[in-house]
Amino acid sequence: MSFSVPPAALFIAGAFLVVFLRGMPRSFLLLVLPVLSLLNLLSISDGIHWIIHFMDYKLIFGRVDRLSLAFGYIFTMISFIANLYALRVDNNPEHTAALLYTGSSLGVVFAGDFLTLLIFWEIMSIGAAYFIWARRTTASYAAGMRYLLVHIFGGFCLLCGILMHVHNTGSIEFGYLGLGGLASLLIFIGFGINCAWPGLHTWLTDAYPEATITGTVFLSAFTTKCAVYALARSFPGTEILIWIGAIMTLFPIFFAVIENDLRRVLSYSLINQVGFMVVGIGIGTHLALNGATAHAIADIIFKALLFMAMGAVLHQTGKINATEVGGLHRTMPITCTFCMVGAASISAFPLFSAFATKSLIIEAVAAGHMPIIWFILIFASAGVFHHAGIKIPFFTFFARDSGLRPKEPPLNMMAAMGIAAFLCVFIGVCPGFLYSILPYPVDYQPYTPCHIVAQLQLLFFSALAFTLLILAGIYPPEMRAINLDADWFLRKGANVLVWFITKPVSAVVAKINDAVTDALPKFLLWFGKNPPAALKIGADIIVYNFTDRAEDRQRLEKEKIIYPRDLLYPWSIGAAVSSVLIFLLIYLLVYFLYYKTGAA
């Protein structure tokens, strides 16, 4: 304990240090930081550490318990793998962004209060947006901008929710909230945007495929998983999450089947996998929360592995659309093998990671007697095998021969994929180790004959369906096309908004502007020359409109011509006094009425 530092601090310090380094020292720093961070985490005892008093509040940078440690371990481990994968990137800002992003993710996980959470939450968005911009294409610039806008909105929801929560309760503690009232709802939505809930998910499928090759690996690991952690912390057992999660597992698989960009296919399957975790959090039992945590850990590794394999293909060929690659197993057999390990893991094949983690969630669903959710999750399990397990490796490394003969990627990329692949198998073969770091004690045995055969049947018959559909020519051919998603409403809606503001709204504003700056002063100037005569003209206009007599019209015209002189005779004193009296009377009436009601 005495030698440890706040988990976020190491990486954030490293983010500033890496700016000055190149070559070997930089590589050394990138690989040593995660190791130091892991040792740091291992040396921290459970409890609350690093409290800073800020105004009337306590900012807590180290709330350490089994839940935060589980996420802390995996974040540190994946940062080693991703840094290794990105070792040859000769663009220091990208390394800075990576370390800042990793550090602030750890900051979120170990935050003990909402203010600390919010600060790190916002830093994450900026680090992530940089990965998207760093691709330096027109598409990535626009996608990064959309990413940032959505996350600024999410952060704003979170900020409003937190302010209201602090106002209502006086506490900034980041703990269990549960849904109830506007404050918790805003926080819930703020988390939900980062969690890629249906309808709020398009930032993910829009931006991740546009990010840099190495950036996507980082992105796939942290943002959504931080949201999963935050939901598990503040909203476990919130029933609506079960349905949100179930829909998340379901709709992306349909999009994934017809998507051409293979990294976008993986982005859809990322939402699908996070859906399983959200279901687990919604159920909220110990078994389910263990399942959500375990599956988050497994998913971070196999999704990173799949993104790394696709990144390797993009790195070596410059192509990532299913229509442009194919048959790469001839010259990239090792990458192909790693990809298939990732595919087997995400599909939950026995001996691979998700078999031991996803089943915890499905077991919890069954134990809670939720047949509809159960059917959806099993459907989604078959579907994920279909698009991530078969489609990704099949269209990249087999299918038709694209004629491309790329070499294997550089050694550091291979090593990173190798470590991730090893971990996928290790978790699958020895789930006990993973189970031992979960938040609650685990009493579950994934390897029963019944479970193995059931899962194998599900997977093999999904594969059978794929095979038969391909052989029969029914399987939808990959096409050079994009598929609309919910972001259509934002992207087209933005155009409508721009039109609405530049056309009708600005026309109305111009009218008002004219009236206020031009017509009104002119009228006042005219009116001020002789107010009684002006009033008389006004009155005569009204009279003439009612009577429509020729003599009234003539008088009116004459009055207008001679204005500001007038046709009025001076008022007699008696008339003037009586009009003053009338005003006094009105004043008295108003005063007494007000006084009386005021007194009552």
Partner 1 sequence: MKKKGSLSTALKVFLSIFFSVVVLLIIIDFFIPKDPHFRWEEYPSFYAVYGFVACVVLVLFAKYVLRPIVKRKEDYYEF
Neighbours of 320 (CB within 10 A): 21
Q: Which stretch binds partner 1 (CB under 8 A): 215-223, 276-284, 418-426, 467-475?
A: 467-475
CB of 247 to partner 1, least distance (A): 15
Among 104, 238, 290, 462, binds partner 1 (CB under 8 A): 462
Q: Do 395 and 262 meet the contact criterion of CB atoms below 8 Å apart?
A: yes
Q: Do 292 and 228 meet the contact criterion of CB atoms below 8 Å apart?
A: yes
> For partner 1, which is the closer residue by CB, 491 or 555?
491
Determine, following the binding rule CB under 8 A, whether residue 489 of this chain makes contact with partner 1. Answer: no
Residues 354 and 346: their CA atoms lie apart, in Å, by: 6
Determine, following the binding rule CB under 8 A, whether residue 258 of this chain makes contact with partner 1. Answer: yes
Q: Alpha carbon of 204 to those of 193, 210, 247, 261, 370: distances in Å? A: 10, 10, 16, 14, 29
Q: Which stretch binds partner 1 (CB under 8 A): 59-67, 333-341, 445-453, 586-594?
A: 445-453
CB of 386 to partner 1, least distance (A): 5
Residues 62 and 343: their CA atoms lie apart, in Å, by: 36
Neighbours of 158 (CB within 10 A): 24
Asked if omega into 564 is within 30° of 0 (cis), the reply is yes
Q: Alpha carbon of 299 to those of 123, 286, 347, 509, 590: distances in Å? A: 23, 19, 11, 53, 75
CB of 461 to partner 1, least distance (A): 4
Q: Which residues pair with 51 in a beta bridge?
A: 60
Q: Fill in the amino acid letter for 52.
A: I
Q: Fill in the amino acid letter for 213.
A: I
CB of 353 to partner 1, least distance (A): 20
- SS3 label, residue 413: helix
Determine, following the binding rule CB under 8 A, whether residue 461 of this chain makes contact with partner 1. Answer: yes
Residues 328 and 600: their CA atoms lie apart, in Å, by: 90
Determine, following the binding rule CB under 8 A, whether residue 491 of this chain makes contact with partner 1. Answer: yes
> For partner 1, which is the closer residue by CB, 201 or 225?
201
Determine, following the binding rule CB under 8 A, whether residue 255 of this chain makes contact with partner 1. Answer: yes
> Who's near 23: CB < 8 A, 6+ residues apart?
none
CB of 433 to partner 1, least distance (A): 25
CB of 66 to partner 1, least distance (A): 27
CB of 390 to partner 1, least distance (A): 9
Determine, following the binding rule CB under 8 A, whether residue 180 of this chain makes contact with partner 1. Answer: no
Among 455, 536, 537, 544, binds partner 1 (CB under 8 A): 455
Q: Which stretch binds partner 1 (CB under 8 A): 39-47, 218-226, 263-271, 369-377?
A: 369-377
Determine, following the binding rule CB under 8 A, whether residue 463 of this chain makes contact with partner 1. Answer: yes
Q: Fill in the amino acid letter for 514.
A: D
CB of 274 to partner 1, least distance (A): 19
Among 39, 182, 240, 484, binds partner 1 (CB under 8 A): 484
Q: Which residues pair with 331 in a beta bridge?
A: none
Tell which positions 492-511 bind partner 1, by CB under 8 A: none
Among 119, 145, 160, 458, binds partner 1 (CB under 8 A): 458
> For partner 1, which is the closer residue by CB, 183 or 376?
376
Residue 491 token pair: 């992207």
> Who's near 534: CB < 8 A, 6+ residues apart?
526, 527, 563
Among 80, 120, 397, 466, binds partner 1 (CB under 8 A): 466
> For partner 1, which is the closer residue by CB, 111 or 388?
388
Neighbours of 408 (CB within 10 A): 15
CA 275 from centroid of its chain's CA atoms: 14
Among 470, 576, 577, 586, binds partner 1 (CB under 8 A): 470
Determine, following the binding rule CB under 8 A, whether residue 464 of this chain makes contact with partner 1. Answer: yes
Backbone angles phi, psi at 454, to 5 degrees: -60, -45
Residues 532 and 516: their CA atoms lie apart, in Å, by: 23
Tell which positions 378-407 bind partner 1, by CB under 8 A: 378-379, 382-383, 386, 399-400
The count of residues in the chain is: 600
Q: Fill in the amino acid letter for 207.
A: A
CB of 74 to partner 1, least distance (A): 29
Q: Which stretch binds partner 1 (CB under 8 A): 23-31, 105-113, 121-129, 374-382?
A: 374-382
Residues 515 and 227: their CA atoms lie apart, in Å, by: 51
Determine, following the binding rule CB under 8 A, whether residue 477 of this chain makes contact with partner 1. Answer: yes
Window 146-165: contact mask with partner 1 (x via CB under 8 A): --------------------
> For partner 1, which is the closer residue by CB, 244 or 373?
373
Q: Which stretch binds partner 1 (CB under 8 A): 114-122, 189-197, 450-458, 535-543?
A: 450-458
Determine, following the binding rule CB under 8 A, whether residue 485 of this chain makes contact with partner 1. Answer: yes
> Who's near 485: CB < 8 A, 6+ residues apart?
201, 202, 205, 206, 255
Q: Fill in the amino acid letter for 178.
A: G
Neighbours of 597 (CB within 10 A): 8
CB of 185 to partner 1, least distance (A): 30
Q: Roughly what angle, to the nearest 10 degrees, separates helices 262-283 and 240-258?
A: 160
Among 17, 366, 415, 556, binds partner 1 (CB under 8 A): 366
Q: Which stretch binds partner 1 (CB under 8 A): 181-189, 220-228, 329-337, 462-470?
A: 462-470
> Where along the sequence are the contacts to partner 1 (CB under 8 A)?
253-255, 257-258, 366-367, 369, 371, 374, 378-379, 382-383, 386, 399-400, 448-451, 453-467, 469-471, 473-485, 491
